[in-house]
Amino acid sequence: MSGNRVKKTLVRTTLVVGLTAGLAATLQGCVLALAGAAGGGALIATDRRTVGAQTEDREIQVKALSQISSSLPDEAHVNVTVFNRRVLLTGEVPSEQDKQQAETIVRGINNVNRIINELAVQPKSSFSSRANDSYLEGRVKTALIAEKGISANDFKVVSERGNVYLMGLVTTAEGDTGGDAASRVPGVLQVVKVFQYVQPQEAQALEASAAAAASAPGAAQAAASSEPTVGAVQSATISSQPLDQQPPAPVTNSNAVHSGNPKAMQ
């Protein structure tokens, strides 16, 4: 009887935790929707992508992940990040052939403009390495939020094996500022900029267009369902790196940018 009571208690506890997490996610979605409605659609206004581009980015990501996972061997670990129809591939694959196959798969998906293939030919990263990457992403996002002169929502952050990739529609000055901020985060080994650069006047026009779209009917619903560029900052739970007195990490531009689907370029 005692063992049965313990099992039942564990089941109930699991259900409560699951329901609590689900309720929290639902409430967060409601808060986002209300914030968009009450604040004039500020959530969409902070993303320089058009609503159409955001929708296409989600579709590209889903298709790419599905096709890559079904085509590559189990030894492959591939992450797909999409921003303004530019696809960043990170992770590890067993061979150069697998790396090229992943790129070929993405190139065949409609609306892909560019592919940044940063896949490494090596064994899968460990669980602890991926956990540390999640931690670093949170730290970099925090650093971008604290940095003056830029909007953190203009940046998408991806970390892989301690290397941080920055995406976004930014000006050259914004990109340099964001890259420098990320490079000073303890534990970051290298910052790789894969930005799509725009002129300052073009950035202002994109923001004005996003603000206009946010005021349109249904904008609050679109804001609640859209993927945030920066997102919530994760709590720092682990770190194997020193937290101070670390020199800035090197900042480079990716040299792995390739053209996407030719039809999407027309």
At 11 the pLDDT is 38
When pLDDT is averaged across residues 10-16 and rounded to a whole number, the result is 38
pLDDT, the chain, mean:
79
pLDDT at position 237 over 60: no
User: Is residue 203 over pLDDT 70?
Assistant: yes
Residue 221 — pLDDT band, cuts 50, 70, 90? low
Distance CA 83, CA 58 (A): 9
Position 230 scores a pLDDT of 41
The winner for highest mean pLDDT among 7-16, 96-105, 233-242 is 96-105
The single-letter DSSP state of residue 12 is H
Residues 258, 117 contacting (CB under 8 angstroms):
yes
pLDDT at 29 over 60: no
**Whether the predicted pLDDT of 126 surpasses 70:** yes
**Residue-level pLDDT at 85:** 97
The whole-number pLDDT of residue 219 equals 54
207 Cβ contact partners less than 8 Å away, ≥ 6 residues apart: 45, 48
Whether 171 has a pLDDT exceeding 60, the answer reads yes
What confidence category does residue 46 fall into, taking pLDDT thresholds of 50, 70 and 90?
A: low
The pTM assigned to this predicted structure is 0.72
Using alpha carbons, list the distances in angstroms from residue 87 to 83, 107, 110, 165.
7, 9, 12, 12
Q: Report residue 109: phi and psi, to 5°.
A: -90, 135
- For the cut 80, the answer to whether the pLDDT of residue 110 exceeds it is yes
61: pLDDT strictly greater than 60: yes
263: confidence class by pLDDT, cuts 50, 70, 90 = low
- Of the pLDDT bands very low, low, confident and very high (cuts 50, 70, 90), residue 213 is confident
User: Which of the four pLDDT bands, split at 50, 70 and 90, describes residue 31?
Assistant: very low
- Per-residue confidence (pLDDT) for residue 255, from 0 to 100: 73
**Distance (Å, rounded) from C-alpha 143 to C-alpha 258?**
30
Number of helices (H) and strands (E) in the chain: give both, helices first: 9, 11
**Is residue 30 pLDDT above 50, yes or no?**
no
CA angle 198, 202, 182 (to 5 degrees): 40
Mean pLDDT of 109-123: 97
